[in-house]
Amino acid sequence: MNSTLTPMPLSSVHPTPDSPWGTYLMQVDRVVPYLGHLARWVETLKRPKRALIVDVPIELDDGRVAHFEGFRVQHNLSRGPGKGGVRFHPDVTLEEVMALAAWMSVKNAAVNLPYGGAKGGIRVDPALLSRKELERMTRRYTSEIGIIIGPHSDIPAPDVNTNPQIMAWMMDTYSMNTGTTATGVVTGKPIHLGGSLGRVKATGRGVFVTGREAARRIDLELTGARVAVQGFGNVGSAAAELFNQAGSKIVAAQDHTGTIYNDRGFDMADLTAHVKEHGGVGGFKGAEPMKDEEFWDVACDILIPAALEGQITAERARRTKAKLVLEGANGPTVPSADDILAERGILVVPDVICNAGGVTVSYFEWVQDFSSFFWTEDEINVRLDKIMIGALRRIWDTADRHRITLRTATFAVACERILTAREERGLYP
C-alpha cells in the first residue's frame, strides 16, 4: 500500500474560492473536523458521481438550426435517486451545475429525504425563444439526458426560468420514449398531470417557516420587522407574502427589472399584480426606484437573497444592516462573506435548510404519484412545517453543541448521513 497517494484534483473545472464549486469545496473542508471516523470518506463529497454534457440542437421557427449546451450532474446517489432542478439561463456552466447538485445532496440529507443530489441546466436565454422553440429545446434536452434520469434514478424539477409547463413537456417526452406514462420522472408538474398542491409556494414557505423559527431564537419580533427581498420569483414573492401576513413590512425588493424601496412597506397585493403584469418589480408605482447596489444598504431586520448564487460578497456583508439572513437562493453567500456576517453577529439560515421546502414538497409529489393518492394543501403544509422545523431544531442543537454556525452544523448533520450511507453500502466492486 502506498500511503503517499493523494487524491487527484478534478481536471474539468478550475474553481476560485468564491465560485460556486469553490464555495462548496470550502464548506465541505470546514465540516471535516466534525465528521469523526467518517472523514476518511470526505473525498466522496468533493467529486460528482456522474456529469453529462449534451448538445441540444433544435430547428428555430425561421428554419435555422441552433445548438445549445446542456448539463445534468448527479453528485451523490448513496441515499437514493438524484433529485434537483433544471435551470435555463445564459450563464449556466458545468461548474455551477456541479455545485448546485452538491448542495442538493446536502439539502436532501439535511431534511432527511431519501434522495441524493442532482442538477441540470441549459445555457440559454429562454426569453429569446418562442414558445414552440422552447418546447423543442426542452424535449430534445430531455431525450439527451434520458439515459440517466427516471422515477427511480434521477428526478428533475423546476428551477430558474423553468416552470410546470416545462416539467409537463419533460414528463411527456420521457414517457413517449419509454412507452409508459411516467408521472414520477419529474416533480413540479401541473396539478392535473400528477403535480402536488402547495408545490409552487413550497420553497418560499420553507424560507418563512425557518425564518420564523430563527426570529424566535434571536428575539426578533416579526410584527413590524423590515424585510428586504432580492429576487421576486416564486421563492422571494411567496416568502414576502407570508412575512407580510405575519405583520412584517416588505420595504425593498430587487430583481432583473430593477430595485424598489418604500420605507412604509409595499402594498403586497398591488406589487403582486404589477409583477404579474410586467414581469418584475421595476416600475412599480407604490415605491421609489433606487440603484441596484443601494439595495445592500437598506435598513432592514431580515434580508432574503432569493436570486442567484454569489450575491452576498465580503463587501456587501460589511454593509448590510440586517439581523437575520434567510437564504432563499442556492449559494448566495460566498465563504468570506459568511465569516464577516458571523463576526458581526448576523444570523444566517443557510440555503441547504432554509430553501429545502421546495424539494420536500417535491418528495411529497413523488410519493403521491407512486400511490395515486393525493393530499389536500392543508395536509401538505402541515407535513412540510413539521419536517422543516424538526430539521432546523436538530441542526440548531448541533450548532450549539459544537459552537459552530448554522451552515457548518447543517453540513455536519447532512454529510454524516451521506457518508454513513456510503460507508454502509461499501465500494463496488
Q: Where is 329: in which H helix or E strand? A: none
CATH number of the domain to which 265 belongs: 3.40.50.720
Q: Residue type at 55?
A: D
Domain-terminating residue out of 331, 354, 377: 354
CATH number of the domain to which 65 belongs: 3.40.50.10860
pLDDT in tens, 27-39: 999 999 999 999 9
The tally of domains found in the chain comes to 2
Instruction: Clarify whether residues 215 and 350 are in a common domain.
Output: yes
**Gyration radius (Cα) of the chain, Å:** 21
Note the pTM of the prediction, 2 decimals: 0.92
Strand partners, 57: 67
Yes or no: say if 283 and 305 are a contact pair by the CB < 8 Å rule. Answer: no
107 is catalytic: no
Instruction: Clarify whether residues 135 and 208 are in a common domain.
Output: no
Instruction: Clarify whether residues 138 and 226 are in a common domain.
Output: no
Instruction: Clarify whether residues 161 and 213 are in a common domain.
Output: no
Cell of 35: 465528521
Assess if residue 330 is contained within a domain. yes
Q: What is the mean pLDDT of residues 166-175?
A: 98
Instruction: Clarify whether residues 331 and 206 are in a common domain.
Output: yes
pLDDT in tens, 75-106: 999 999 999 999 999 999 999 999 999 999 99
Peptide bond into 190 cis (omega under 30): no
Q: How far is residue 47's CA from residue 262's CA, in Å, rounded to a whole number?
A: 45
Instruction: Clarify whether residues 68 and 141 are in a common domain.
Output: yes
Assess if residue 38 is contained within a domain. no
User: Which of 3-12, 58-67, 136-145, 292-301 shows the lowest per-residue confidence on average (mean pLDDT)?
Assistant: 3-12
Q: Domain range spanning residue 174?
A: 48-180
Q: Is the pLDDT of residue 5 over 70?
A: no
Instruction: Clarify whether residues 176 and 220 are in a common domain.
Output: no
Instruction: Categorize the per-residue pLDDT at 2 as very low, low, confident or very high, splitting at 50, 70 and 90.
Output: low
Instruction: Clarify whether residues 109 and 155 are in a common domain.
Output: yes
SS3 18: coil
Name the catalytic one among 83, 119, 189, 323. Answer: 119
Q: Is the pLDDT of residue 363 over 60?
A: yes
Q: Is the pLDDT of residue 412 over 80?
A: yes
